[in-house]
Structure 1
Amino acid sequence: MKDPAAPRTTERRFIREMVTAIALIALALLLWKVRQALLIGFGGAIVATVILSLARPLRRRTGMPHLAAVALAALAIVAAISGALWAIWPSFSVQLGNLVEQLPQALEELEDRIGEVMPDNALPTGEMMQQAAAKLTEWSTALLAAVSALVLVVLAGVFLAVSPDRYRRGTVRLFPPAQQARVAHGLESAGAGLRAWVLGQLVAMLTIGTGVALGAWAIGLPAPLALGLIAGMLEFVPVIGPIAASVPALVLAATMGGSTFLWTVALYLGLQQVESNLLMPLIERSVANVPPAVFLLSLVAVGALFGIAGVILSAPLAVVGMILVDELYVKPLNGEDSTHGDG
């Protein structure tokens, strides 16, 4: 005999599943609409990580209140950046101006040299150059938008650093009580991984920037300080950053003779070997072991969603994403209890 309540139970289950599916679709659409705000929030988390990395040791050693430690750490970071800019700005501004002036001339000279050994139809046509110029204009506009968002990122970072526990507890409470311990542990692990990655990346940026500046000076390239600063800043962008940083130096070196060009190639390749075989293993030892392919896919995917700002933040997003996936999906799937250690 059939249970008369069975059809109603099936109908209620169907309705519940439909409502859940609609809610998930609506949530996905909402997240898509506010994706830029989410990216700014993540950038703020990186800024907060840097501030807290200095504020927490300061608080432990002095016993000062958290807010005072955060304010002092933020002031110290601003003072350090301002002092460094004040020290290098006179030389850097001159060298950057020279670099901007010399690069177009170097490109023209390089094009003339290539034209002597290549057929005319192998050189870029005027239409191709116009398309490249239009693309550069588009990228410049996107870069300006990313720079304008920097103020919001810094403000978000300061707010997160002032009361990180409050925001972490609020995030944890969005999940069912049975999952809150695991989510809390996942967020803690992601924060620790992000902190280790950021500190390691700062070391890598300083090392590569200093190495390029000293190497370019030793080779005799124009504007070594500007080239070093460009290389250090672009080191933050995975995969394509180091390649893009080498382009100005290689263009200049190509107009200065074959030996200079070869020394410049050796300089950049040697520093990348130092980064790949020494710096990156030290960084990965403290965070999730993110394969290079994941960094590359993250760069492409996040860059397609968010533009240049997404490209810049793709590496830390990959690190945090892998840690959260491991803590919230892989370990539960395999019956591992991450809330009591790294099992």
Structure 2
Amino acid sequence: MRERYQVPIGVEIATQWAWRMLVIASAVLLGVFFLRYFSEITVPLAVAVLVTALTINLVDWLEAHRIPRIAATFIVVITLLIAFFGMLAVVGQQLATQATDLRTSVVDGISKIQDWAKTGPLKLSDDQIQTWIDNAKESIQSSDTSLITRVGEVGTTLTHLFAGFFIALFSTFFFLYEGSRIWSWVVALFPRGARERVNSSGHTAWASLTAFVRATVIVALTDAMGIAFGAWALGVPLTFAIGVLVFLGAFIPIIGALLSGMVAVLVALVAQGPWTALFMLLVVIAIQQIESHVLQPFLMGRLVAVHPLAIIFAITAGVVVAGVVGALIAVPLAACLNGVVRHLATVAEQFDDEPPDDGTEPLPGLA
């Protein structure tokens, strides 16, 4: 009788790993697809979770001082709305008052570029410069149809933003008011044997998220105040708007504050010239060095132990999946996953170290 053909053990192990990895990858891709498909819901919910992580302690503090939780929640949410719309109002007022001066600076800058193009090393004639200007005008005029289409897309986007704002607002309110109840309901969806670890993993992820959000807010405020003060000292217009932009950009670690700081450099270049822009660039670099070598290690520490390479990968994946919003959410999600993995690994080690509870005594010398 002929022996049955045997698959080499290496191929068998590789196959078992391969199909498991395929199943995991398929589940991840399916999850990403649903997140993108329902982005009008998932993105506001993610923003609501981040805001809740930032403000939940304030609600708890008000409740501890004998204020009913629903009233404390209303106070915190209304305060957030006042701060948000107040910031928008100040930015709008500054843009309205200083936009004319900035427009004049842009026109002067274009004139200087034209003069440099004629008198500098390019030695362009007036006819050549006018030809380039005419070509630019024709390109703009020929894109009327695409411009109308883009205006329609902007209208749709604004509608989605308006709806997402209210979803995030109501979600934040209920997360602050009865987040524990909601989490208990989520835990109850899992099998009875897994509920304890799901609950402990959720609390670990929440601790990592709150630590990350609070530390990031402090870092963002420091970046915004430093760069805004530097812009004010150098006489750069739109100081408050630059500070707000830097504050929002700082929520994207490593690259966010740098990119938003480059906007300050560009405004300085347009409004004050190259020397002011150079000094503004030095201010941005100095603030970034303070953040990287002092604030990030001191504030983050071991609370959010995510390697910089992992942060870069997370930001890239977030941009691919959901654009700017994905970049904002990617690093907090990576911090939560990192905390959960560490927690489950610790629980598994403790479980392995415990002797089996079978009613027998361990042998001498093996305990």
- TM-score w.r.t. length of structure 1: 0.73
- Show the counterpart of 1:296: 312
Count of aligned pairs: 306
Counterpart check, 1:224 vs 2:268: no
Aligned with residue 75 of structure 2, among 66, 72, 76: 72
Counterpart check, 1:147 vs 2:147: no
Counterpart check, 1:214 vs 2:229: yes
| CA distance in 1 between partners of 2:331 and 2:96 (Å) | 30
Aligned with residue 237 of structure 1, among 246, 252, 255: 252
Give the 5 Å matches for 1:1-343.
Answer: 29=30, 32-35=33-36, 36=39, 37-60=41-64, 62-83=65-86, 90-91=93-94, 93-95=96-98, 98-99=101-102, 101=103, 105=107, 108=110, 116=120, 141=154, 144=158, 147-148=161-162, 149-255=164-270, 256-285=272-301, 287-328=303-344, 330-332=345-347, 335-336=349-350
Q: Which amino acid aligns with 1:147?
A: L
Q: CA deviation at 1:41?
A: 2.1
Deviations 1:10-46 (A, max 9, x none): xxxxxxxx9xx99995796366224423333222211
Asked if structure 1 preserves the Cα contact closer than 8 Å seen for 2:91 and 2:241, the reply is no
Cα 1:110–1:65 shift into 2, 3 Å: farther
The CA RMSD over aligned residues, in Å, is 3.9
Deviations 1:67-104 (A, max 9, x none): 222122222333344555566753454235655x3685
| CA distance in 1 between partners of 2:29 and 2:179 (Å) | 26
| CA distance in 2 between partners of 1:87 and 1:336 (Å) | 54
Asked if structure 2 preserves the Cα contact closer than 8 Å seen for 1:208 and 1:232, the reply is yes
Asked if structure 1 preserves the Cα contact closer than 8 Å seen for 2:223 and 2:257, the reply is no
| CA distance in 2 between partners of 1:96 and 1:314 (Å) | 34
Asked if structure 2 preserves the Cα contact closer than 8 Å seen for 1:290 and 1:319, the reply is yes
Cα 1:178–1:96 shift into 2, 3 Å: farther
- TM-score w.r.t. length of structure 2: 0.69
Cα 1:216–1:109 shift into 2, 3 Å: farther
Q: CA deviation at 1:108?
A: 4.1
Q: Which amino acid aligns with 2:73?
A: V
Cα 1:298–1:24 shift into 2, 3 Å: closer
Q: CA deviation at 1:204?
A: 1.9
Q: CA deviation at 1:304?
A: 0.8
Q: Which amino acid aligns with 1:275?
A: E
Cα 1:176–1:327 shift into 2, 3 Å: farther
- Show the counterpart of 2:12: none
Asked if structure 1 preserves the Cα contact closer than 8 Å seen for 2:262 and 2:281, the reply is no
Cα 1:92–1:280 shift into 2, 3 Å: farther
Larger Rg: 2
| CA distance in 2 between partners of 1:144 and 1:298 (Å) | 27
Q: Give SS of 1:185's match.
A: helix
Deviations 1:158-199 (A, max 9, x none): 222221112211222233333322221111121122112222
Q: Which amino acid aligns with 2:241?
A: A
Instruction: Tell me: higher relative CO, structure 1 or 2? Use CA pairs within 8 A at least 6 residues apart.
Output: 1
- Show the counterpart of 1:14: none
Q: Give SS of 1:237's match.
A: coil
Note the residue ranges of structure 1 that are not aligned, 5 or more in a row: 1-17, 338-343
| CA distance in 1 between partners of 2:177 and 2:254 (Å) | 34
Asked if structure 2 preserves the Cα contact closer than 8 Å seen for 1:237 and 1:312, the reply is yes
Q: CA deviation at 1:209?
A: 1.5
Calculate percent identity across the aligned residue pairs: 21
Q: Give SS of 1:163's match.
A: helix
| CA distance in 1 between partners of 2:25 and 2:287 (Å) | 47
Q: CA deviation at 1:106?
A: 7.6
Q: Which amino acid aligns with 2:185?
A: G
| CA distance in 2 between partners of 1:112 and 1:336 (Å) | 72
| CA distance in 2 between partners of 1:59 and 1:275 (Å) | 35
| CA distance in 2 between partners of 1:192 and 1:327 (Å) | 12
Q: CA deviation at 1:203?
A: 1.7
| CA distance in 2 between partners of 1:113 and 1:182 (Å) | 70
Cα 1:23–1:229 shift into 2, 3 Å: closer
Q: Which amino acid aligns with 2:260?
A: A
Asked if structure 1 preserves the Cα contact closer than 8 Å seen for 2:211 and 2:304, the reply is no
Q: CA deviation at 1:268?
A: 0.3
Q: Which amino acid aligns with 2:186?
A: T
